[in-house]
Structure 1
Amino acid sequence: MNVLICTLNSQYIHSSLAPFCLLAGLKKYGDSGIYAEVIQGTVNEDINMFAEKLIQKKPHVVGLSCYIWNIEKIYILAALIKDRLPDTVTVLGGPEVSYNAATVLQNNNVDFVLSGEGEKPFALFINALKNNSSLENLPGLCRRTSSGIVVADPYVSAEEPPSPYTEEYFKALNGKIAYIETSRGCPYNCAFCLSGRCGKARFFNLDRAKKDIELLAQSGTKTIKFVDRTFNANKKRAKEIIRFITENLSQSGVCFHFEIAGDILDDELILLLNSSPKGLFQLEIGLQSFNEKTLSEINRKTNTKNLKQNISRLLEFQNVHIHIDLIAGLPYEDMQSFINSFNIAFSLRPHMLQFGFLKLLHGSPMRENKEKYPCEFSKTPPYEVISTPWLTKEELSELHYAENALDRIYNSGRFSKTLEYVLKTKNISPYELFNSFGKYYSKTSSLDDLSKAFFDFFSDNTEEFRDCFVIDRLQTNASGKLPTFLKRTDSRLKEFKYTYPPKKGVTRGYAILYEENVFIYVDYENKDPVTGEYTITKISL
C-alpha cells in the first residue's frame, strides 16, 4: 500500500514535525507491506504543481496535516487529488480539524478525519484499509456512514510516542527550523487555547529527550523550538534540560527556543538562564494581559507581580532573547485596559513584543461557549476577532495601526536608540507613539523609505536625534552605508577612514556624531546574538 503524508508549511524556513510523527507511528504500529513517504510544501507555492507531485505517485492514501494557516489550501489540494484519483483515500488530521470533524466531513473530497494524536490511530487506520477490515472503534476516527456522520473523541495516548527523528526527517530538515516536543498536554486550561484539551501534561523519557536534542543540534539547523506547551511546568525537568544544553551544546551554534510561564520561574532557573552563554536560549512568555479580571475570565492563573519581576530579572543580563505576547480582544479588556497592558509590557523592554489579535479556534472554550464569551469573529481562518462587548470594530481596527508600527519599528530592532530618544523627549506613551506613526505611515516600503518617514515624523531638528538615528542604522545594517537624509559632507570623515582602516575582509561603517563630537565606526562581524546589533567604537574628535 502506497501512503503519502503531507502538509503545507507557512514558510520554506519552517519544517513540520507532525508528518514524521505519523511516519514513526507507521513504522512502529503498521503492518508489513506499507510504503509511506512524507512530502512537504508551503502555502506560498503553486498548489496545482504541488498536487501534481502527489498525483504522479499514485497513492492509495493521502494523509494531510491541517492548521489554520493551511486549511484553505488543504481543501483545494484534496479536491485536486480526488479529481484525478477518485479512488485515493484522503484523511485529514491536526488541530484545525480535530474539533469540527462533522463540518469537515461535509466536504466530499475528505473521506476521513483523525481527531487528536495520530501516531497509533493513523497506523491502525492504514492497517484496516490494507486488510479490508472494519473501521469501527478505531481511536479518533471520524467518518461518514449510511446512518450519518460518526464523530470520535480526540485521541489522547497513554503511551510515549515513537521518536519522529528518523533518517527521512533529517534528510528533509536540511537546515530549516527544527521542532521538538519533550512532553504533551498542558497543566493549564486557557479559554482561548487548545492545549488544555490535549490531556494532562505527560513528560517523555528524559534520556530520550536529551538524545533527540543532541541529534537535532548536530543536524545543521540553527534554531530548535520546543513545542512543549509550558516548558517549565515541571521545574526540576526544565532545569535538567537547560543544564544539559548549557553543558553539552553551548558551542553548537544553535539557539534553543522555549515557551514558558514567566510567573512560576524560580531563582534557580533564572540564575541558570542568566549564566548561560549569550544567545543560547530564547524564551517566549505569554502574558496576554495585565488586566486581572481578564486573566481570571480566561482561566489564566498568573501572578502579574512575579511575572514583571521575573521578566525584568531575565532582561538584566541581556544574554537571553525575551519574547512576550499580548492578545487584543480578550474578555473585559476594553481599549483603555489594553493600552494599559501594552504600556506595561513595553516598559519591560523585551527584545520582541508580539501584539496579536484573539483567534477563536475550533475546540477552544471561547469559541464553544458563546454565551460566556460573546465575540464576533471571522468565519474563515484564522478566525480573528472582529468585535467584542468591550471593543468595537472601529477600536480593533485602530489597534492594527499600532501593531503594524510596533513590528516595523520596535520588533525589527532597527530603531532602538531613536525610539528611546523620542519617548523621552516627546513625553508620549509607547502606545501613542506606535499608534500615531502607524496611522501616518502604514504602507509596505523599503528600509530607507521607512526610516525617512520615521525621521520626518518625529524629528525635532536636533543633532542628538540625528545621532541616535545614525547609531541605529550603523549598528543594525551591515552595508555600512547611511541613507541620503542622514549623510553629511565633512572632510574629516575621509581622514578618519584613512587613519582607521578596517581589517582585511571586514566591512566597516563610519560616521560622525555631532552632538557628542565623536567619530564612530562599526565592524560588521560578531553580531550580538540577542539584540542583533554590531559594536560601535567611538573616538573623540
Structure 2
Amino acid sequence: MQIIIATLHVRASDQAVSLAAGCLKSSLPLNTQRNTTLIDLFPEQTSASICSQLLELNPTIIAFPLYVWNREQILHICTLLRQKKPELFLIAGGPEASADSHKVIQEGSLDGVMRGEGEVSFAELIHRLSTGASPAGIAGFLSTTADNAATPDPTVCPDLSALTSPWLSGQLPLQRNCGVLWEVARGCQFNCAFCYDAKGHQGVRPFPVARLKKELQLFTQQQVSQVWVLDSTFNAPPGRGKQLLQLLIEQAPQIHFHIEAKVDFLDLETIELLSQLNCSVQIGLQSATPQVLKPLNRNFSPQQMERRLEQMSLAGITFGLDLIYGLPGDDHSGFETSLDFALRQQPNQVDVFPLAVLPGTELFEQQEKLGILSENHPPYLIQANTTYSKKDLQKSHALATATDIFYNRGRAVGFFLPLCQALKSSPSAFLQSFSQWLNNHNIVAADCWSAEAILPLQQQFAAQQLQTHKLSKLQHLVTDLINFHFLCAETLLTDDCLADKHMARKNWKKFSWRLNPAVRVQSFHFALEDLEAVGAEPLERANHHLSPNPEVAIFLRQQGEVIIESLDDNFAQILLRARTENTLDHFVTEIDPQLAEELLDFAVSQGILLPVQSTSR
C-alpha cells in the first residue's frame, strides 16, 4: 500500500514546510512510514501536472491538508484523480476539512475527511485500510460510506507527549539556513469571533519542554536560520511564555524567531527576555476602536498598548502589528483611525487584511444576523456589512495596498513619521495621497515589487509633496533620510561581504573587477552622523541647524554585523567607479600610486571588490 501526503503551499519560501504532513507520517508505524511519501506542491503547477505527478507514484491512498489558500485547487485535483483512478482512497484534513466537512467531500469526490487533530485518527485509518477493516467509527473521521451518520466532533490529541516529533524523527529534512515551522503548543484560550484557532481545542496544551529542548538543539546543530513559532499567543499565560523565552535564549540564541504575542501579557519581565533574543514579534491589533473589538470577544486599551509598544521599542525589539478592515461595526473612517494609531507606534511593519468570514467561526455562523455579505468560497472575503459599504471596502483596499508598498516593502519606518509631521499630514492621509499619486501616474501596484523598485517612487512622491507644501528646502534632507534607511534595511537583510580567497595578487590585472553586490555605496548631502541623529526632532528644525556636508558612505555586512562608515575622498572615488565593471587601473586614476595600492589591497582582502572575468592582454 503506497501512501502520499501532498501539501500545496502558498508559495515557495522558507515557510513552505509540510508540517502537518510530517506530523501525520510520524504518527505511523515504521513499516508504514517506508511506504509513505511527502510531496510539496506549488500554485504555479497546473492541476493536470500535479495529478500526473501524484499518479506516477502509483498511490493507494492520498491525503491532503486543506487550507483557505489551497482548497479550490486541491479539490479540483481530487476530482481529476477520481476520474483517472477511481479506486484511489482520497481524504483531506486541516481547517477547511474540519469546518466545512460535507461540502469538501462533495466538491472533491473524497472518501472522507479527518476533523480536528489527525495524528491518532489517521494512524488508525491507515491501519484499518491496510487490514481491510471498515473505517466506520474512527474518531473525527467522516466517511462518505457512513449512511446518515452524525458528523463526528473534531478530535483533540489527548496526550501531546505521546506524539512523535516530525523533526526529531527525521520526517522533515533540515538544511543549513533553512526555515522551520515549530509547534510549541496547540489550542488557544481566547475565542475571537473571526478566528478558527480555538475551535475544537481545550484551551492551551503545551508540548513537553523536554521535546522542545531536543528540537531546539537539533535546529542549532543543523544551523537553521529562522523559526516561526506556531502559537497564536505564546505569552498566554505569561508564565508559559517566559519559560519558553528562557529556553530559546539558552538553547538557540543565534536563530531568528518569529513570534506572535498578545499585548495584554507583555509585562516588563517578558519584554526584557525578548530583548535578549534574536526575534521579531507580531501583535494582533486588528482595530484601534474598542467598541468594534468588544463584540468580537476582544479587549483593547489604547493606553496599555502604547505603553507596552514604547517599552518594546526602547528595548530594541522589532515588532509588527496586524489590522483587519471590514469588521462589523467599523467603516473606512474607523479603519483610517486604526491605521493612524498603528503607524504612530512605529512598528517595523503593519500587515493589513480584509476580513475573511471563515467557516466554523462565530462571524460565519452569525453573518446573516450581523448583516454581513461575504464570498461563499475561499478566501471568504467580506463584500459589505451594515456599516461598511462596498465603496468603503474599495477605499480601504487601496489604502492597505499603499501602506504595504510605501511603508512595509519600502522600509519606511525610520523616516515615515517625521515626513508626515513635516507635511502636517496624518499617516493615513499621506498614504491615501500616495495611492492617488500612483493612479495619476498610471503606476499599477505589483506584489513582486522589491524595495529597490519602490525606492524611486518614494523619492519622487516625497519631492512632489514637499513642493506642494512649499517645503522644497527639505528636499536634500528627506532624500538622504530615505536613502539612508533603505540602505540600512537592505544591508541588514543581505549576505555577508566575502572575499575571493583564491585570487593570487599577481593575477589581479588579468581580471575585470566590480563592487561586491552585497556592498552599497551612496552619496549624501549631509554627514552620516547627522543623518543617524535625525528623527528625534522635527525635520524643519533639523534642517535649520544642520550644515550641508557632502560625503560618501559604505554599507556592508560582515560576520552578521552591519557596518556603515563614511569614506575618504580617494576610497570613495574608487568604489563609485567600481559600480561599473572595469580594471583596477581604471579605478585608481589620479590617485597617488602608493595610496592606491593600499586601498586596493584593503578593498580586495575585505571582499569589497570582486573579480569578474579574464581580460585579453
- In structure 1, what is the Cα distance between the partners aligned to 2:35 and 2:518? 51
Query: Do 1:290 and 1:304's aligned partners in 2 also have CA atoms closer than 8 Å?
Result: yes
Name 1:511's counterpart in structure 2.
523
Counterpart of 2:431 in structure 1 is 434
Q: Could you tell me whether the CA contact under 8 Å between 2:556 and 2:562 is conserved in 1?
A: no
CA deviation after TM superposition for structure 1 residue 295, in Å: 1.6
3-state DSSP class of the match of 2:5?
A: strand
Q: State whether structure 2 residue 283 is matched by structure 1 residue 285.
A: yes
Indicate whether 1:297 and 2:295 are aligned: yes
**Contact residue 3 and residue 37 of structure 1 kept, 8 A:** yes
- Alpha-carbon contact 1:125-1:138 (below 8 Å) kept: yes
Aligned residues: 510
Amino acid at match of 2:374: F
- 1:379-390 equivalences in 2 (<5 Å): 379-390=376-387
Q: 1:168 to 1:369 in 2, by over 3 A?
A: same
Q: Are positions 1:447 and 2:454 aligned together? A: yes
Whichever residue aligns with residue 555 of structure 2, its letter is Y
Deviation at 1:428, TM superposition (A): 1.2
1:51 to partner: Cα distance: 2.3
Name the CA distance, whole Å, in 2 between partners of 1:218 and 1:382.
Answer: 39
Listed one character per residue, the Cα deviations across residues 121-149 of structure 1 (whole Å, up to 9, x for unaligned) are 11111111111112221011112237346
Alignment of 1:455-474 (within 5 A): 455-460=462-467, 462-474=472-484
How do 1:177-196 residues align onto structure 2 when only pairs under 5 Å count?
177-196=179-198
Q: 1:472 to 1:464 in 2, by over 3 A?
A: same
Query: Deviations 1:330-360 (Å, cap 9, x if unpaired)?
Result: 1211232222122111111111111111101
Cα gap change, 1:520/1:44 in structure 2, threshold over 3 Å: closer, same or farther? farther
**Which residue, 16, 19, 30 being the options, matches 2:18?**
16
Partner residue in 1 for 2:600 = none
Letter in 1 for 2:525: L
2:422 aligns with one of 420, 425, 437: 425
Alignment partners' CA distance in 1, 2:489 and 2:296:
47
Pair 511,174 (structure 1): closer, same or farther in 2 beyond 3 Å: closer
- Residue aligning to 1:157: 157
Deviation of the 1:231 alpha carbon: 0.3
Q: 1:402 corresponds to which residue? A: 399
Kept in 1, the 8 Å contact 2:9–2:41? The answer is yes
Q: Deviations over 1:274-326 (max 9, x none)?
A: 3x15xx011111011121122210011344432221111101232x2201111
Deviations 1:96-138 (A, max 9, x none): 1211111112235211111110101111111111111122210
Q: Does 1:204 align with 2:234?
A: no
| Cα RMSD (Å) | 2.9
Contact 1:346–1:430 (CA under 8 A) maintained in structure 2: yes
Comparing 42-51 with 381-390, which one deviates more in the overlay?
42-51
Deviations 1:161-200 (A, max 9, x none): 3212145444266744311111111110000001121311
Secondary structure in 1 matching 2:258:
strand
Q: Is 2:92 aligned against 1:92?
A: yes
Tell me whether 138-147 or 119-128 shows the greater mean CA deviation: 138-147
Q: Quote the Cα distance in structure 2 between the aligned partners of 1:413 and 1:465.
A: 18
Distance 2:423 2:283 in 1: 30
Rounded to whole Å, the distance in 1 between the matches of 2:199 and 2:489 is 49
What does residue 36 of structure 1 align with? 36
SS of equivalent to 1:231:
coil
Counterparts of 2:380 and 2:416 in 1: how far apart (Å)?
Answer: 33
Alpha-carbon spacing, 1:380–1:506, altered in 2? closer, same or farther (3 Å): closer
Tell me which of 522, 525, 531 is aligned to 2:556. Answer: 525
Q: Contact conserved, 1:2 with 1:34, CA < 8 A, in 2?
A: no
Identify if the C-alpha distance between structure 1 residues 469 and 60 changes in structure 2 by more than 3 Å, giving closer, same or farther.
same
Whole-angstrom distance in 2 between the partners of 1:139 and 1:479: 50
Q: Cα gap change, 1:432/1:124 in structure 2, threshold over 3 Å: closer, same or farther? A: same
Q: TM-score, normalised by structure 1?
A: 0.87
The alpha carbon displacement at 1:470 in A equals: 3.2
Q: Which amino acid aligns with 1:335?
A: H
> For residues 282 and 106 of structure 1, what CA distance do their matches in structure 2 show?
41
Is 1:377 aligned to 2:374, yes or no?
yes
Secondary structure in 1 matching 2:106: coil
Matched, 1:171 2:173: yes
- 1:504–1:185: structure 2 CA closer, same or farther, 3 Å change rule? closer
Determine the C-alpha separation between the residues in 2 that align with 1:505 and 1:424. 35
* Cα separation, partners in 2 of 1:327 and 1:139, compared to 1, 3 Å: same
Contact 1:417–1:469, Cα closer than 8 Å, also in 2: no
2:135 is aligned to 135
**TM-score with structure 2 setting the length:** 0.77
CA drift at 1:371: 4.2
- Secondary structure at 1:191 match in 2: coil
Select the residue among 26, 29, 32 that pairs with 1:27: 29
Structure 1: unaligned runs, 5 residues or longer: 481-501
Quote the Cα distance in structure 2 between the aligned partners of 1:173 and 1:88. 34
- The change in CA–CA distance for 1:243 and 1:411 in structure 2 (over 3 A counts) is same
Shift in alpha-carbon separation, 1:384–1:504, aligned structure 2, 3 A: closer
Q: Residue 230 of structure 1: which of 233, 237, 242 is its match?
A: 233
* Per-residue deviation, 1:266: 1.4
Residue matched to 2:246: 243
Compared CA separation, residues 470 and 45, structure 1 to 2 (3 A):
farther
Give the distance between the partners of 1:258 and 1:372, measured in 2 at CA.
35
2:409 to 409, 412, 415: 412
Inter-partner Cα distance in structure 2 for 1:162 and 1:87: 31
The structural deviation recorded for 1:227 is 0.8
- In the alignment, residue 257 of structure 1 is paired with which amino acid? H
Percent pairwise identity:
24
Q: Alpha carbons of 1:70 and 1:479: their partners in 2 closer, same or farther (altered >3 Å)?
A: closer
Larger radius of gyration: 2
Equivalent pair of 2:228/2:258 in contact (CA under 8 Å): yes
Corresponding position of 2:53: 53
Residue 45 of structure 1, CA deviation: 2.6
Range moving further from structure 2, 173-182 or 320-329: 173-182
C-alpha distance in structure 1 between counterparts of 2:516 and 2:70, whole Å: 47
CA distance in 1, matches of 2:426, 2:94: 42
Q: CA 1:392–1:408 in structure 2 vs 1: closer, same or farther (change >3 Å)? A: same
Name 2:508's counterpart in structure 1.
none
In structure 2, the CA distance between the partners of 1:101 and 1:429, relative to structure 1 (3 Å rule), is same
Checking the alignment, whether the CA contact within 8 Å between 2:20 and 2:65 is kept in structure 1 is yes
Deviation at 1:9, TM superposition (A): 0.7
| Distance in 1 (alpha carbons) for counterparts of 2:378 and 2:59 | 29
Q: Which string of whole-angstrom CA distances, capped at 9 and with x for unpartnered residues, describes residues 400-444 of structure 1?
A: 111111111111243345533431222111111112211321513
The structure showing larger relative contact order (alpha-carbon pairs under 8 Å, at least 6 residues apart) is 1
| Partner residue, 1:261 | 262
- Cα distance change on mapping 1:270 and 1:536 into 2, 3 Å: same
Q: Give how far 1:156 is off.
A: 1.2
Q: Distance in 1 between matches of 2:170 and 2:52?
A: 22
Cα gap change, 1:412 to 1:537, in 2 (>3 Å): farther
| 3-state SS in 2 of match to 1:524 | strand
CA contact 1:328–1:338 (8 Å) conserved in 2: yes
Q: Is residue 217–residue 224 contact of structure 1 (8 Å, CA) maintained in 2?
A: no
| 2:536 counterpart residue number | none
Q: Which amino acid aligns with 2:524?
A: I
Q: How do residues 67-86 of structure 1 correspond to structure 2 at under 5 angstroms?
A: 67-86=67-86
